[in-house]
Amino acid sequence: MIVLAIISLVLALAIVVIVAYHLVGIFVALKRSADHLDKVASGLVKVRDDTRDLNGKVETINAGLGALVSPLLGTNKNLSDIVKVASSI
């Protein structure tokens, strides 16, 4: 009877040690994840701050490119006509 009690105690202690080991591993993994998330969050804040001034610039560039559409389409037509003439020779 005492042998069974000792075996039960050893098994219970082994289970507690194994569970504690895995809980410590989970804690370490979560801590590392939190550290990485802090770095990602600070990086995202930097990207946001660095790109804040781009909105006005992108709108200006877009307006400039919109003004170029018509001349570029005309150039494309002229080049197409040149290719037709050159290929008919």
pLDDT tens-digit profile of 46-83? Answer: 999 888 888 788 888 998 999 999 999 999 999 998 99
Q: Are residues 76 and 39 in the same domain?
A: no
Number of structural domains, the chain?
A: 2
- Full-prediction pTM beyond 0.85? no
Encoding tokens for residue 69?
A: 């559409």
Encoding tokens for residue 82?
A: 């040149």
Handedness of CA 10, 12, 17, 21 (dihedral sign): positive
> In angstroms, rounded to a whole number, what is the distance separating the alpha carbons of residues 59 and 17?
62
Q: Are residues 48 and 60 in the same domain?
A: no
Q: Are residues 42 and 3 in the same domain?
A: yes
Q: Is the pLDDT of residue 89 over 80?
A: no
pLDDT of residue 8: 96
Encoding tokens for residue 24?
A: 């410590």
Residue 22, domain extent: 1-52
DSSP, res 1: -
Q: Are residues 32 and 45 in the same domain?
A: yes
Q: Are residues 4 and 41 in the same domain?
A: yes
Q: Are residues 28 and 15 in the same domain?
A: yes
pLDDT of residue 59: 86
For 28-45, write each residue's pLDDT tens digit. Answer: 999 999 999 999 999 999
Q: Are residues 1 and 25 in the same domain?
A: yes
